[in-house]
Chains A and B, each alone.
Chain A
Amino acid sequence: MNLTLRVWRQSGPTDAGRMVTYRVEDVSPDMSFLEMLDVLNERLILEGDDPIAFDHDCREGICGMCGMVINGVAHGEQRATTTCQLHMRHFEDGATITIEPWRAAPFPVVKDLVVDRSAFDRIIQAGGFVSVPAGSAPDAHSIPVRKEDADSAFDAATCIGCGACVAACPNGSASLFTAAKITHLSLLPQGQPERVSRAKAMVDQMDAEGFGGCTNTGECTAVCPKGIPLDTIAQMNSDYLKANTK
């Protein structure tokens, strides 16, 4: 496959940045999107150019490090797929592909396609935990959990914090990420003591980071590689309103 790439290049946080066009030839349809970029980067290095910086780690779709907006869609048009698990067979030979970083004020560009997602860490630090006495692990069956709650909590817990929801949201909202983390804990018995204070702390931190508000467009859940459902946001709203009406 031969492709034309239009990639966002930005040498550092203060650089204005621009789209640069590259030709990539002899791409195997079995390559992942990141491997295709690796091929281009090897050539750029040989030619004495600066390789395109992008985040990646496990390349198995479970770590949440990779992510870029491909042809206007976070992680590309293949549903429920991270960029590292997106394969070149989903593209046409001779296609032009536009690649941009996540765009949000709380996710400043570090370099090229790499953005700083520390804002997510601070939302987690605000309340995305349960305070339990450390010690030996309790027996797995000592606290009963309803099967439905366990399933829903697990669905929410599959969030890998990649930030695609923010990138896709027309408002630059982090509601799906924050809601997934809140729902994951608020459905389980261990999360109950801090349930209400957690929702308030995490939502307030989300606001403080400068993320936009949710308008329920559903763009986030459509691009989420883990398919986190929109009703986690209803759960977050419910917990948050309880925190503010008590």
Chain B
Amino acid sequence: MGSSNGKKAVMAVTGAVMVLFLILHMLGNLKIFFGRDSFNEYAHALRTLLEPIVPYRTVLTTLEILLVASVVLHMWAAISLARRAGKARPVKYVAKKSQAGGYTTHIMRFGGLTIALYVVWHLLDLTFGVVNPKGFNSAPADRMVAGFDPSRWWVTLIYVVAVVLVGLHLRHGVWSAFQTLGWANRARNKMLRLGAGLLAAGLVVGFLAPPLAITFGVVQ
């Protein structure tokens, strides 16, 4: 795990865990279009999953631990690979021109950092309610609707920027994971790149729909 390839594999696997989480998270968010009750029931169901076989919140807490571990390992691998890269080129070029078109590949580190900062804000807003007008002891749907109220248009704006950055991060990241794990090849590459693009686009649309609908008054 200590080698550069090992760290890349850690990035790929932890990234995959986070992408799977994002897909479920996005589908859950869309419940708001079926009404506040539907959204609240879904939030409640997440906490009572597999009850009474296991105690309250067992599944959710397990997933949260897995996610936090993934985030920490993903960041550890990214930071140590970035430091290795920095050491590998101590003298910079006077002139350097990129030859590979994909600009998304060049904003992975910057994008990742921005997303990490955003996640902190996001948790404070909608999970812990610290910066949310409704606070922690409120129904999840109320927090969501109040959080993206038209008067808080700047929150929606932060959210839009962050989600687009996640999309760009995944456009390169998802394909990259297949390449890193050695599953990409010439025949599959076109499909993998297209799939990564579609997945990224789908997540961006799915994540942006609820807050924009709330800010523009479609969902009350």
Contact = CB atoms under 8 A, between A and B. Distances in A.
Contact of B85 (A171, A216, A222): A171
B5 A241 contact: yes
A142 to B, nearest CB: 28
Given A217-B106, A231-B189, A241-B182, A19 B94 contact: yes
A230 B190 CA distance: 13
Nearest to B77: A213
Interface string B163-182: 00000000010011011111
B201 to A, nearest CB: 20
Contacts of A213: 4-5, 7-8, 81, 84-85
B97 A71 contact: yes
A217 B5 contact: no
Interface in A179-232: 203-204, 206-207, 210-219, 221-223, 229-231
B72 to A, nearest CB: 19
A212 B182 contact: no
B81 to A, nearest CB: 4
A69 B12 CA distance: 32
Contacts of B81: 171, 212-213, 215
Contacts of B9: 237, 241
Contact of A241 (B93, B178, B181): B181
Contact of A100 (B87, B95, B179, B189): B95
Interface residues of A, number: 50
A207 B172 CA distance: 24
A71 B189 CA distance: 31
Interface residues of B, number: 41
A72 interface: yes
A237 B182 contact: yes
Interface in B1-31: 3-9
A159 interface: no
A84 interface: no
B185 to A, nearest CB: 5
B184 A231 contact: yes
22 contacts: A73-B97, A77-B99, A103-B91, A168-B99, A170-B106, A173-B88, A210-B88, A212-B4, A212-B88, A213-B81, A213-B84, A214-B8, A214-B180, A215-B108, A216-B175, A216-B180, A217-B106, A219-B100, A234-B179, A234-B185, A236-B182, A237-B181
Going nearest first, the 3 A-B pairs with the smallest beta carbon separation are A238-B182, A172-B88, A213-B4
